[in-house]
Amino acid sequence: MEEVIKLHLAIIPDGNRRWAKRAALRPWEGHEAGMTSFKEILLWAVKQPQLGVLTIWGFSTENWNRSEAEVSHLMKYYEQWLVEQRQVFHEHKTRLIHSGRRDRIPASLAKLLEDVVRETKHYTDFTLNFALDYGGKDEIVRAVNKLLGETTITEESLRAGFDHPDMPDIDIIVRTSGEQRISNFFMWQGAYAELFFINCFFPDLKVADLENVLAQYATRQRRFGK
């Protein structure tokens, strides 16, 4: 019997702040609305037989440049979400993993995250990858530093090993359907990912939108350079 390979679905939840601005709300209220949407999406995802992993980007390494008030509210929301969802992970046999740094987030959030990751590590039915204080370039730098021990590698020195180290970074990636982004692109884990762009802010994202994505994905032919 042929083994069924489950899909890894990743979501960049863009537009929370613009959703809030459109509704004349404060920026962090957009994030709160986005978290409500994500709870519904997660409950849908764990029930999909073709999905094995869901990655959600909660906070990038660049998001520290936002206002202290916004960052503070967001970190509190994430801590509250973990408290609320802890039992849900167990009910749906969902393993929580974390991508990113833990040394810069609030200590209470880091401890809670560590605890939930540890107590769900034995589940194999479904995995939720929570990307918090995560950046693709930062992950590469951290990985190289792990390999080289005490030697410190920076993004600039790592660039010297690229095929064309003198070529400037890409400034524009042309895509259709308006303002969209896939931050930290031209790397590494997502090199052959199929791209889909949905023209709504994250708090307005519906399960039906993701079901449509899966249906479209099934019609695409992935060649992987062959």
**Which positions are catalytic?**
14, 63
- CA–CA separation, 86 and 89 (whole Å): 5
Residue 209, judged by CB atoms within 10 A of its CB (0-12, 13-18, 19+), counts as: middle
User: What are the C-alpha distances in Å from 175 to residues 12, 17, 195, 212?
Assistant: 16, 22, 10, 19
**Token digits for 58?**
């909660």
- CA–CA separation, 88 and 29 (whole Å): 24
